[in-house]
Structure formats: structure tokens, C-alpha cells
Amino acid sequence: MNAMPDMLNFAVGPVMSDDDILAIGAEQVPYFRTAEFSEVMKENEKMLLELADAPADSRAVFLTTSGTGAMEAAVINTLDTTDKVLVVNGGSFGQRFCDLCSLHSIEHTAIELKFGTPLRHEDLEPYENAGYTAFLVNMNETSSGVLYDIELISQFCKRNNLFLIVDAVSAFLTDPFSLSASGAGIMLTGSQKALGCPPGISMLVLTPDALERVKRIESGSMYLDIKSALTNGERGQTPFTPAVSILLQIHRRLKKIIEAGGQKSETDRVRSIAEDLRTRIAHLPLTLFGSSPSHGVTAFQTPFGVSAHKIFEILKDEYNIWICPNGGQYKDTVFRIGHMGALTTDDNKRLVEALDDLHQRGLL
Ligand SMILES: *Cc1c(COP(=O)(O)O)cnc(C)c1O
């Protein structure tokens, strides 16, 4: 039997990791209530604040949860029943913020967007001076690959004095973002997307405005309580046993990104991978789905009669290449190709060769 070629992962999390990151995961997990680990965590916080371009006196916390844990932590620690919240809902992650608000009895209005379309000025207009206090957005709505105009949102929030929470789980380090310039209160992200580490850690960067809210609001949760994460973080610790290895992997990754030039050099690198893929794939009968694509992921529509989910399955089973299927009503018409993690233009080449092969076989 022929050996399968190495796995190649174009999903949108978990993504491919560099070899040195994988090597850390292969080591024994060290005990963490030590001065050495505290030092690592203090550096993690400092590096994350730098890469997010956070304003002075901001803090960052590292929670052992997936990205949704950070979304929920943001909602329960910085919003309460006195808030009135706007949520951009253009896909499954926007819907998740709505569900979290409902679950925690936070009054909210969803700005419903057609799947695959960007947020426009006209979508915000009805909500000017309308008594809202906060705004929730997934900077990249990963389910459609649409990148929202953070400048538009930022201006709207500044004008209306709204507390802005930016879920940048798939946008941090793929598309330019500055916590200072945006005026956002919180930027949150996860280990398994552009950071290129295994899933398990999510991070929140909190500005002084957010810290003020955290101090005032009772989260009602023990595990996701940001107050206790902040207090423990002052000495480089976490309230509970964290995913130690992933925090060591994140430490290595953040350090390497900073050494290579910081946020801009990393977003430039990801953009070049995304642009390379979009150019290479252009001759195939696939059309870009939606508009305003992020650099972290591109969604494609398959031609009439070709099941997108079937393409995903064949690539996985016969080529050991993983793209990202869509769900629900787009299951058979849309798939996504991620550009996050340890991918190269050679990897793009191998993917497009496999798609060429499917085309030749009459399957695409
Ligand atoms: C991946 C992702 C999340 C987090 O998903 P988890 O499965 O909980 O890690 C949240 N928001 C966005 C925009 C994402 O892309």
C-alpha cells in the first residue's frame, strides 16, 4: 500500500504548527507554581500587549478554554443587565455572541447581515444615538471569511460612546489591528488560529476601560472570573492549572513573531500566503464567496452540481489535505481555505495540484 503523504492542514483552527512548537508539545509537562513559569507568563502578557498595540496600563489574561470561553468571559465580566448591546451577526460566530447575551440576560440587538456580506455604514445608521452602551463584533466572521471594517466600527463606537469588544480569534495577526487606535475595550483571541499553537488557551487583552468594568461587575462564574485571573496574573500565575505546554508554546511563538518584526511582519506574511493561494487557484472553476475576504481564510463557492463537502472529503481521504467545510445550508456549495499557521507557498502549490487533479478526474 502506498504511504499517504504528510498531512497538510488548511482548516481554520487547529492549524499547522512550526516544528519547534511541536517539539515543546512532545516534552514532559513541567510543574507550574514556580518562579520560572511565572517569568514565562509575565513575558507572555507583555508580548501580547505589545502585539495588540494595547494602550498604557492594559492587562492580558490567559484562560484555559477555547475561544468561546474568552467570548463568554468577556460578556459576563464586562457587561451586565444595565447594558444595551449591539451585536454584528453575519454568521455562526456573530450568532454565538447573541446566544451568550441571551443566556446571560444581556439586553441586545442583532445587526443581521446576509451571510458573506460586509458591514456597511447604512447598517449602523439606525443605531446612532439610540441608547446603546456596548458593541460586540467578530472582526473576521470566520464562518464566511468576511473581514469587517474595524475603522467604521471604531468610529461608530467612539461617536456613540460604546464599549467595544472585538473577537479577533481569527483576525489577530492575520489582519492589522491596534487596540489603541480602535479604541476597543477588549480584544480576545485563541491559541489555535494565527498563533499556530494547539487549541486550549484563549486570551483577553483588557484596556483600562475594560478593567474598570471588570472591577465593577460580578461575573457569577468561578472558572471564567477575570478578576481572579488578573490578581493571579500579577505574579505570573493562573488561578487553576493551566494548559502549561500550550502556554510555553505560545511563549515561543510570540517571541519569534516579535523578533521577526512584530504584528506587521506577521500580518504581511499571512497576507502573502492568502494572495498566493488566491492567484494560484484562479484558473479553477471556483468563485470567491462573499466580499471583503479576510487574510486568515478564503471562502470559495463550488460550481453548480459539485458538492463542496464532497471535495473536502476526497481531499482528506485521498490526498491527506484538510480544507474547512461549511455547515448548514452552505454545506454543499461553500468550503474555506485557511491561511493561518505554519503554511508556505509550497503548501498552497500542493493543495492546488490536488484540486487540479480533481478537476482532471471530472470531480471539480
Ligand atoms: C475559532 C473562533 C472562535 C472560537 O472558537 P472555539 O471553537 O471556541 O475555539 C471564536 N470566534 C471566532 C471569530 C473564531 O474564528
Kindly give the distance from the C-alpha atom of residue 69 to the centroid of ligand 1, in angstroms, as a whole number: 9
For ligand 1, atom 11: residue with the closest CA: 169
Instruction: Give me the CATH number covering residue 26.
Output: 3.40.640.10
Q: Distance (Å, rounded) from C-alpha 40 to C-alpha 201?
A: 15
Q: Is the CB of 67 under 6 A from ligand 1?
A: yes
Are 55 and 167 contained in the same domain?
yes
Q: What pLDDT, on a 0 to 100 scale, did the predictor assign at position 187?
A: 98
pLDDT in tens, 55-97: 999 999 999 999 999 999 999 999 999 999 999 999 999 999 9
Are 127 and 187 contained in the same domain?
yes
Q: Is the CB of 298 under 6 A from ligand 1?
A: no
Domain count for the chain: 2
Are 237 and 280 contained in the same domain?
no
Are 246 and 270 contained in the same domain?
no
Are 209 and 244 contained in the same domain?
yes
Identify the domain boundary among 211, 228, 259. 259
Q: Say if residue 321 is exposed, middle or buried (CB neighbours under 10 Å; 0-12, 13-18, 19+).
A: buried
Are 47 and 86 contained in the same domain?
yes
For ligand 1, atom 5: residue with the closest CA: 67
Q: Is the CB of 143 under 6 A from ligand 1?
A: no
> Taking the CB of residue 283, how many other CB atoms lie within 10 A of it?
11
Kindly give the distance from the C-alpha atom of residue 169 to the centroid of ligand 1, in angstroms, as a whole number: 6
Q: What pLDDT, on a 0 to 100 scale, did the predictor assign at position 2?
A: 62
Q: Is the CB of 142 under 6 A from ligand 1?
A: yes
Inside any domain, residue 331: yes
Kindly give the distance from the C-alpha atom of residue 195 to the centroid of ligand 1, in angstroms, as a whole number: 13
Q: What pLDDT, on a 0 to 100 scale, did the predictor assign at position 3?
A: 74
Inside any domain, residue 346: yes
Identify the domain boundary among 242, 259, 276. 259
Kindly give the distance from the C-alpha atom of residue 291 to the centroid of ligand 1, in angstroms, as a whole number: 21
Instruction: Give me the CATH number covering residue 280.
Output: 3.90.1150.10
Are 90 and 137 contained in the same domain?
yes
Of residues 203, 211, 160, the one with CA closest to residue 185: 211
User: Ligand 1: which atom is nearest the Cα of residue 168?
Assistant: 13
User: Ligand 1: which atom is nearest the Cα of residue 140?
Assistant: 13
Q: Is the CB of 239 under 6 A from ligand 1?
A: no
Spans in the chain with pLDDT lower than 70: 1-2
Are 191 and 216 contained in the same domain?
yes
Please, how many CA atoms are within 13 Å of residue 360, restricted to the half-sphere of its CB? 6
